[in-house]
Amino acid sequence: MIVPIRIDSIQELYKLQQLACKVDEPVYVHSPDGSIMVDARSSLGLFTLDFTKPVNVVTDSAYVLRKLGVHAGVRA
């Protein structure tokens, strides 16, 4: 599932990384235009993205989606 999110602080970025590290399923973060894709577990990779715009989180992890506020395919 692809979920657009806005990350407004280093703490939110760190929370996303922690969520990605807790699950076995892959969690990726894409730039809005799809030109950059990084593993959400990678601190260095995450800092290559431009967070002045929403980014897309790509995962099939129900746990990560729930923690991001996504329920039954709809973002809460």
Is the pLDDT at 63 greater than 80, yes or no?
yes
What is the pLDDT at residue 40? 97
Nearest 5°: the CA angle 13, 15, 51 is 15
**pTM of the full predicted structure?**
0.85
Mean pLDDT of the 40-50 span: 93
What is the pLDDT at residue 69? 85
DSSP single-letter state for residue 69: T
Q: SS3 of 46, please?
A: helix
What is the pLDDT at residue 5? 92
pLDDT (tens digit per residue) in 24-41: 999 999 999 989 999 999
